[in-house]
Structure 1
Amino acid sequence: MTTTGHDGAFRDPAKKSLGQHFLHERGVVDKIVLAVDPRPGDHIVEIGPGQGAMTWPLLDRHGRLTAIEFDRDLLAPLAARARAHGELELVHANVLDVDFTALAAGTPIRLVGNLPYNLSSPILFHALDHAAVVRDMHFMLQKEVVDRMAAGPGSKVYGRLSVMLQAYCRVTALFTVGPGAFKPPPKVDSAVVRLVPRPPAEIGIDNPARFAAIVRAAFGQRRKTLRNALQPLCSADAISTAGVDPSQRAEQLAVADFIRIANLPVTT
């Protein structure tokens, strides 16, 4: 159990069971805050503040912050430390259970966080479900994941995550962070990424569920051609109608190609 003194200091190390790696290098924190660039009136929501490495500089810069923390033992020291920096609203919850739309309460939110690497993809997709109320996202993730998120067609790491995120967001890899910036240091490099949800008119996806099914099936067995991979969902003739060669494989297609295929009329 985490114990604190009267100063609200954090006493215990990160918990392996929660995948905690606490950011401590101030130079990295300053680069993240500069990338976020908080402005008056922004509703900033931090996912997983941990011991507050990003929380305090954001509060010093902005004055107000909402933070979602799952580890109950971190709540008291966070609340105690926050008094010297600004107004911190703490939400004790698993972020996957948080309704971002309700939390926004009519004001677009800006998501920030050093995400637990074992939950990064579920958190990203959960945030996408609420993209209508999200202005932007700045996340620290495993570099391998950021590489996949930002990859283009033809890349070995281009896949379902790349297509799903890029269809709904503009994805920009910002900078890499070495293991030494964390306590304890992870065994991999990390990276910071910016995601900006696209306006609905720019996305152009008629049926999100069908789009997701098409992308999932296309990358389900990467060695298969689209003709074979999408057979249960879409015929080769239909794929051709969308302007795509059915003999291609999923990693060769641009995001717009997947959208055109998904938007084809469904025939029975």
Structure 2
Amino acid sequence: MHRPRKRFGQHFLDDPGVIGNIVTAIAPQSDDVLVEIGAGEGAITTPLSRLAGAMHLLEFDRDLARLLRERYADNAKVTVHEADALSFDFGALGSNLRVVGNLPYNISTPLLFHLLEFREHIRDMHFMLQKEVV
């Protein structure tokens, strides 16, 4: 288990009920391309990847990116990008993207503005945000 790093604003989901509610709200389909920002340990990734057509995981923390690469090495639908979501070129992933994530609190607002630059590539977005951000 990875210890959350405060400097990255990490907080990991581990409540199966909350995870189930998130997956239900996203309602992934077999032809969807999902982009998960801050995939962490893969709590949301695992159930989403069972239903989606493809998943791109963006993880800034190199230790977590390595863990995710190992965890999903046998899953051809999952691609791990060790990257900063604030400078990532979402357009390079195609169009009709569904962007999801349990966002790190310290980048929520600038990330939303960055994502707006790629609005022609994004179909919808589903995020968990801290109450103070909303």
Q: Same fold (TM over 0.5)?
A: yes
Correspondence list, 1:210-249, <5 A: none
Retained in 2: the 8 A contact 1:48–1:70? Answer: yes
> In 2 relative to 1, CA 86–97 (structure 1 residues): closer, same or farther, beyond 3 Å?
same
Q: Residue 24 of structure 1: CA displacement?
A: 0.6
Retained in 2: the 8 A contact 1:19–1:117? Answer: yes
Partner of 1:144: 132
CA distance in 1, matches of 2:49, 2:66: 17
CA distance in 1, matches of 2:17, 2:37: 20
Give secondary structure in 2 for the equivalent of 1:143.
coil
Say which of 116, 119, 124 aligns to 1:128: 116
Segments of structure 2 that go 5 or more residues without pairing to the other structure are none
CA distance in 2, matches of 1:110, 1:116: 18
TM value normalised by structure 2 = 0.92
**Letter aligned with residue 21 of structure 2:** K
Q: Residue 70 of structure 1: CA displacement?
A: 0.4
Larger radius of gyration: 1
Q: Residue 132 of structure 1: CA displacement?
A: 1.0
The superposition leaves residues 12-69 of structure 1 with CA deviations (integer Å, 9 ceiling, x where unpaired) of 3111111111111011011111111111211100001001110111112225310010
CA distance in 1, matches of 2:49, 2:65: 16
Say which of 102, 111, 116 aligns to 2:104: 116
Partner of 1:41: 31
Say which of 1, 8, 11 aligns to 1:18: 8
Segments of structure 1 that go 5 or more residues without pairing to the other structure are 1-9, 147-268
Give secondary structure in 1 for the equivalent of 2:133.
helix
Q: Residue 91 of structure 1: CA displacement?
A: 0.8
Retained in 1: the 8 A contact 2:38–2:103? Answer: yes
Q: Residue 84 of structure 1: CA displacement?
A: 6.0
Give secondary structure in 2 for the equivalent of 1:30.
helix
Q: Does 1:82 align with 2:106?
A: no
- After superposition, the CA RMSD in angstroms is 1.5
The structure showing larger relative contact order (alpha-carbon pairs under 8 Å, at least 6 residues apart) is 2
Higher helix share: 1
Retained in 1: the 8 A contact 2:32–2:53? Answer: no
TM value normalised by structure 1 = 0.48
**Letter aligned with residue 67 of structure 1:** L
Q: Does 1:51 align with 2:41?
A: yes
**Letter aligned with residue 71 of structure 2:** R
Retained in 2: the 8 A contact 1:67–1:89? Answer: yes
The superposition leaves residues 99-128 of structure 1 with CA deviations (integer Å, 9 ceiling, x where unpaired) of 111222xx3100000111111000000111
**Letter aligned with residue 70 of structure 1:** F
CA distance in 2, matches of 1:14, 1:58: 22
The superposition leaves residues 127-160 of structure 1 with CA deviations (integer Å, 9 ceiling, x where unpaired) of 11111111000001012322xxxxxxxxxxxxxx
Partner of 1:215: none
Q: Percent identity?
A: 48
